Amino acid sequence: MEKIIIFDTTLRDGEQSPGASLGVKEKVEIARQLDKLGVDIIEAGFPISSTGDFESVRAVSQAVKRPVICALARAKEEDIKTAYKAIKGANRKRIHVFLATSKIHMKYKLRKPEDEILKLAGKAVKLAKKYCDDVEFSPEDAARTKEGFLFRVLEAVIAAGATTVNIPDTVGYSTPHEFGALIAKIRENVPNIKKAIISIHCHNDLGLGVANSLAAIKNGAKQVECTINGLGERAGNASLEEIVMALKTRSDFYHKATSIKTPLLYKTSRLVSHLTGMIVQPNKAIVGQNAFSHEAGIHQDGVLKKRSTYEIIKPEEVGFTESFIVLGKHSGRHAFSRRLKDLGYKLTKKETDSAFLRFKALADKKKEIFDEDLEALIEEQLEKIPKSWSLSYLQTKSATTSSPRAIVGLRGPDGKIQRASSIGDGQVDACYRAIEKIIKQKGKLEDYSIQSVTGGKDAMGEVRVRVKFKKHIISGHGASTDIIEASAKAYLNTINKLIARRQTKT
């Protein structure tokens, strides 16, 4: 299959998202990840725009050696020279020159006639060619440019030495049918078009960035400019992960391939989201947290029987470890029973039917049912959790000049009281360490929270904990007017649940 060149502009156009500014170190870190991902070209920035951007482009050029490193420049001598200075340390370099060609841009922004624009475009490309063999030219707002004039501009810049001509839908105005047809017309009406690669750069103002890009590829575009997570000006750019996976998943239709290592998509998405501070929406295609989650009972049943019934992409293909069956009010009996089995419970049909009814009642009150909720539901149904271990007494001591110490007495399954003491980072930690000495069972505290049950100075405090015992994560709670005592009771609650679980599981 023919290869589509992936031109990533996350570090340039993507960084133009409001609030997504990146420093030099962050740009280099993302560039290294893009290199691992397998992108062909990294547009590292717009060097003339600021000293910081210049330094970022130069740092990326020195740090990343495999991909082409591209710098953006207006059709101005100073821009082009500055762009070259920033990328001259790169193993493979490209200067990307742009100049607006639409009537509205020429009239109100540039205030220049067509003939002058034509001359400026050719002149800029010739200058860039003196510094760099690889030159790309973009007629800004090409999708709204008069076709005849667009053809003339492209012919002129290719004659001047442009090796790639990029067709931007700068304001996301076009539609797939229009944009695909435009690419086809360029191939038919620009005499020297075979001497250059046709690229596209689509924005997402109407939510059509990816669709327009794919339509252009279907009509002969060989390079696609895109960003991780669809970052970019206004509503963003065409999303790299969506384009790549569309081409891969529907290779039967597009007959195209890319060099992207798709199992790294999710990791790359997370990195960009973290460093830019731009949160990925849960229902974002390909990399959103819900992309492989199923709540509807019919869907869950189908996925559990045959994953391809409702998943056209395997989660592992893009870096997720598995599909997620989300239990909620829309879930069916099949998903409920499977989750109980995965948790290790073996129930009779009658017990399962009863538990399912109680699960549905709970699901009407909660959006999502977690494993801890199911455990509590099942344990409560099977029998009241026996207190294998209970708190007999507790004494703690804390001072600014010494480590906190706790002395704990527990009544065990045999009715006898066992005692232990320990120091810790705090009174609660010391208490938990002492408990672990007695029960000879060590857990890892995953979560700890305190909530007031009642008001006033003598308020009852409730402590909730999540403790990991090897592969099991168990929730527990305890209440008391003394927070340390409530903490000890919550921890013992998880121990008693663990013992109960072992007695009821296969």
Which of the two residues, 492 and 383, has the higher pLDDT score? 492
At residue 145's C-alpha, the angle toward residues 141 and 151, to 5°, is 115
* Residue 292 backbone dihedrals phi, psi, to 5 degrees: -125, 30
pLDDT tens by residue, 93-105 = 999 999 999 999 9
Mean pLDDT, residues 1-14 taken together: 95
The fold of 390-504 is Double Stranded RNA Binding Domain (3.30.160)
DSSP output for 327-341:
BSTT--HHHHHHHHH
List the structure tokens of 356. 């399912």
Mean pLDDT, residues 297-320 taken together: 69
Please report the pLDDT score of residue 458 as a whole number. 40
List the structure tokens of 285. 């295609």
User: Which stretch of 164-168, 351-355, 407-411 has the lowest confidence by average pLDDT?
Assistant: 351-355
User: Which stretch of 78-82, 296-300, 396-400 has the lowest confidence by average pLDDT?
Assistant: 296-300
Maximal C-alpha separation, the chain: 98
Mean pLDDT, residues 29-52 taken together: 96
pLDDT tens by residue, 121-143 = 999 999 999 999 999 999 999 99
Q: How confident is the model at residue 454 (pLDDT cuts 50, 70, 90)?
A: very low
d(CA 79, CA 72): 8
Of 154, 140, 148, 153, whose CA–CA distance to 104 is shortest? 140
Q: What is the 3-state secondary structure (H, E, C) of 368-431?
A: CECHHHHHHHHHHHHCCCCCCCEEEEEEEEEECCEEEEEEEEEECCCCCEEEEEEECCCHHHHH
At residue 373's C-alpha, the angle toward residues 371 and 376, to 5°, is 110
Q: Quick check: 456 pLDDT over 50?
A: no
Please report the pLDDT score of residue 334 as a whole number. 78
Mean pLDDT, residues 36-49 taken together: 97
List the structure tokens of 267. 């990791």
Terminal alpha carbon distance of the chain:
51
Whether 390-504 and 2-276 are alike in CATH topology: the answer is no
Mean pLDDT, residues 340-356 taken together: 77
Q: Quick check: 367 pLDDT over 70?
A: no
d(CA 469, CA 134): 58
Please report the pLDDT score of residue 191 as a whole number. 98
Superfamily of domain 2-276: Aldolase class I (3.20.20.70)
Please report the pLDDT score of residue 130 as a whole number. 97
Q: Quick check: 53 pLDDT over 60?
A: yes
List the structure tokens of 314. 């395997």
Of the segments 176-180, 358-362, 372-376, 497-501, which one has the largest average pLDDT value?
176-180
Cβ neighbors of 482 (< 8 A, separation 6 or more) are 461
pTM above 0.85, yes or no: no
d(CA 27, CA 40): 17
d(CA 476, CA 53): 51
Q: Structural domain boundaries of the chain? A: 2-276, 295-382, 390-504
pLDDT tens by residue, 316-341 = 888 876 555 556 667 777 777 777 77
DSSP reduced 3-state for 275: helix
User: Which stretch of 74-83, 175-184, 443-452 has the lowest confidence by average pLDDT?
Assistant: 443-452
